[in-house]
Chain A
Amino acid sequence: MSFSFNDIIFSNEQRKPDDYAAITKELKRDILKSLALAGSGHPGGALGIAELMAVLHFGGVMRYDATNPTWKERDRFILSPGHYVPVLYSCLAHCGYFPTSELATLRKLGTRLQGHPAGFGFTPGIETTTGSLGQGVSIAVGMAMSDKLIDKNSHKVFCLSGDGELQEGSCWEAAMSASMHHLDNLCWIVDNNDCQIDGRVKEVMSIYPLKEKFESFGFAVIELNGNDVEQVISGYEQFNANHKNKINKPTCIIAKTIMGNEISLMHDKYQWHGNPPTIAQAEEALKELEDTNNE
């Protein structure tokens, strides 16, 4: 059994909310296919942030040049939960960093698409290794410091963390330092799906109240539904305004999402944190996404 991947490139421009449906479906199809082919990996979280990722990469929010991954003027995106990486690989492929056909090599020997992001320079478009939770947010803080404090440029740094990830104490070290150093060029998105391997975040180890925590750490907090494209667009717009207006504090977007969103098999089920779909399950799910390119 093999799946093929649409080799469509999406441009990076402001779009109307309705224009994102095709993109998010494409990302979700890629996630399901690549994980089913890999026979291992983490579908739930990746599927849940399709909208957040689609707007970030294809909505004119971030500056990048897929033909020049180390372009000095680029904005950065750090995916702190490295296990979400299938959705990032899919985005990067549709940006044009590498061919979409490469998505079929996920997690296989010799691939550039490692199970968790490998070191900088290993995969075009990947800014850093992540996979040990809590580290990506500090790396993003370091990049934001480099831009704002040292180089004094106008680059932006976006970082997405999980919610369970916030149980790692070093996340709060990162939050403290982002705030004290006034990093208004940093947008920290918390994927709040309330799922982790052992169950619900609020039951395994509560990280709530989240809004109050980030506010008390000195962040400008935006709460939104991360699966609602309209709200996601407005959230990024608000951050861009915060950055432009030099509010002297970092922005945190708390995005409520649903793990495995809109895939019946996986919708809001934490059991899909780290189990890949079988080929048959992927085929079933792809029907829900109106895939017409399934061989």
Chain B
Amino acid sequence: MNKYISKGTKPTRQGFGEALAEQGDKDSRIVVIGADVTGSVLTSFFAEKHPERFISVGIAEQNATTIAVGLALSGKVAFFSAYAAFATFRNADQLRVSVCYNNANVKIAGGHSGVTVGPDGATHQCLEDIGLLRTLPNMTIVVPCDYEQAKKATIAVAEHIGPAYIRLSRAKTAIFTNADDDFQIGKADVLRDGTDVCIVACGALVWEALQAAGELETKYNLNVAVINCHTIKPIDADTISAYAKKCGAIVTAEEHQIYGGLGSAVAEVVVGKYPVPMEMIAMQDRFGESGEPDELMRHFGFTAENIVNRCLLVHKRKIEQK
């Protein structure tokens, strides 16, 4: 029985925008850099509330990122937000040398990640950000699973000392976590306990994982654990290895490329600590395309149905290996 139910839908970017504006009241060190898309990534909420701490630099992500470093090195908590594709790749060198090597207190919010960007197509559907940023020393990566968690993740990232990336989505998704749920960077949430298979998911795929686990229980009598791995770096190796041992099989699910994302991070833990059969649901080394968000999620297999199938597959492999 799932204790998590959908209480409506909102995009994670909205949780980020609202929380950032509110956190601006509490922390006068927060400064936000805008690069033209403030109304899309919803840093516009902060700009309206705290115009004296909002700086517009136009369509110039490299400059925005390094200006954020200058602000951070002057004692500010500097947030820069743009579409994930341009807030991580256009400025990758700035992130590497100026943000991470300095260990500067810069926060990057990548809006419009994944295929749920929809009709804008592959240029704007960033599916590689986690892989890129995971290679950078000092970088923390957080992927909230819903609007409610996005608010908490934003506050946690603002209070965290050092570089951090928060990955956000454009599309409305189910709100299923609760305002009083705990959130801690680096500590994965076990949303559902189980012993047969463990699903490790992040972002919008966490809700799909919960649906899949419910179906696996009712239709196949499988007891499936679901972990919301909202922090990709540093990964919660203790929880993942404990569930590798407990369940003996893992399925990862993420709206990201197969290489370098959550699946890779989980596999790195599992092979080192407790090797078990794994299946990875992710983009299969190809670019996205135009379409409606729901259509694209189905087209690329980011669905509860696919998670069910892969759980059955990995469970079979586990039994065969015994």
For B72, what are the chain A residues with a Cβ–Cβ distance below 8 Å?
A: 142
- Interface SS majority for chain B: helix
- Cβ contact of A143, chosen from B58, B74, B97, cutoff 8 A: B74
Say whether A268 faces chain B, with CB atoms less than 8 Å apart. Answer: no
User: Does B102 contact A142, Cβ atoms closer than 8 Å?
Assistant: no
CB distance from A194 to the nearest CB of B (A): 25
User: Does A129 contact B97, Cβ atoms closer than 8 Å?
Assistant: yes
Say whether A170 faces chain B, with CB atoms less than 8 Å apart. Answer: yes
User: Does A145 contact B71, Cβ atoms closer than 8 Å?
Assistant: yes
User: Which residue of A has the minimal Cβ distance to B70?
Assistant: A142
- Interface SS majority for chain A: helix
CB distance from B179 to the nearest CB of A (A): 32
User: Does A118 contact B101, Cβ atoms closer than 8 Å?
Assistant: yes
User: Does A142 contact B101, Cβ atoms closer than 8 Å?
Assistant: no
From B61-69, B116-124, B242-250, B271-279, the one touching the partner chain is B61-69
CB distance from A142 to the nearest CB of B (A): 2
User: Does A140 contact B62, Cβ atoms closer than 8 Å?
Assistant: no
Most buried by A among B52, B71, B78: B71
Say whether A207 faces chain B, with CB atoms less than 8 Å apart. Answer: no
User: Does B76 contact A150, Cβ atoms closer than 8 Å?
Assistant: yes
User: Does A150 contact B66, Cβ atoms closer than 8 Å?
Assistant: no
User: Does A128 contact B102, Cβ atoms closer than 8 Å?
Assistant: yes
User: Does B76 contact A146, Cβ atoms closer than 8 Å?
Assistant: yes
A-B Cβ contacts below 8 A, count = 112
Question: Scoring A residues 171 to 195 as 1 if CB is less than 8 Å from chain B, else 0, what string do you get?
Answer: 0011011000100000000000000
CB distance from A146 to the nearest CB of B (A): 4
A131 CA / B101 CA spacing, docked (Å): 11
For A127, what are the chain B residues with a Cβ–Cβ distance below 8 Å?
A: 73
CB distance from B258 to the nearest CB of A (A): 30
Report the interface size class on chain A: 20 to 34
A192 CA / B270 CA spacing, docked (Å): 55
A30 CA / B97 CA spacing, docked (Å): 27
User: Does B102 contact A129, Cβ atoms closer than 8 Å?
Assistant: yes
CB distance from B35 to the nearest CB of A (A): 10
- Cβ contact of B62, chosen from A118, A138, A145, cutoff 8 A: A138
A138 CA / B52 CA spacing, docked (Å): 20
CB distance from B270 to the nearest CB of A (A): 32
User: Does A119 contact B74, Cβ atoms closer than 8 Å?
Assistant: no
User: Does A128 contact B63, Cβ atoms closer than 8 Å?
Assistant: no
Given A145-B55, A146-B75, A173-B60, A135:B98 Cβ within 8 A: yes
User: Does A177 contact B57, Cβ atoms closer than 8 Å?
Assistant: yes
A38 CA / B317 CA spacing, docked (Å): 57
Say whether B53 faces chain A, with CB atoms less than 8 Å apart. Answer: yes
User: Does B70 contact A119, Cβ atoms closer than 8 Å?
Assistant: no
Say whether A139 faces chain B, with CB atoms less than 8 Å apart. Answer: yes
CB distance from A155 to the nearest CB of B (A): 9
Question: Scoring B residues 92 to 127 as 1 if CB is less than 8 Å from chain A, else 0, what string do you get?
Answer: 011011100111100000000000000000000000
Say whether A144 faces chain B, with CB atoms less than 8 Å apart. Answer: yes
Say whether A120 faces chain B, with CB atoms less than 8 Å apart. Answer: yes
- Cβ contact of A170, chosen from B62, B74, B96, B97, cutoff 8 A: B62
Given A139-B73, A146-B74, A170-B62, A129:B101 Cβ within 8 A: yes
A287 CA / B76 CA spacing, docked (Å): 48
Q: What 6 A-B pairs are tightest by C-beta distance, nearest first?
A: A142-B70, A138-B66, A173-B63, A146-B74, A142-B67, A173-B60
27 A-B contacts (beta carbon < 8 Å): A121-B103, A128-B70, A128-B98, A128-B102, A129-B98, A129-B102, A130-B97, A131-B97, A132-B93, A134-B62, A135-B94, A135-B97, A135-B98, A138-B62, A138-B63, A139-B73, A142-B69, A142-B72, A142-B74, A146-B74, A146-B75, A146-B76, A149-B52, A150-B52, A170-B60, A173-B58, A174-B67
Mark A residues whose CB is within 8 Å of B: 118-121, 127-132, 134-135, 138-147, 149-151, 169-170, 173-174, 176-177, 181
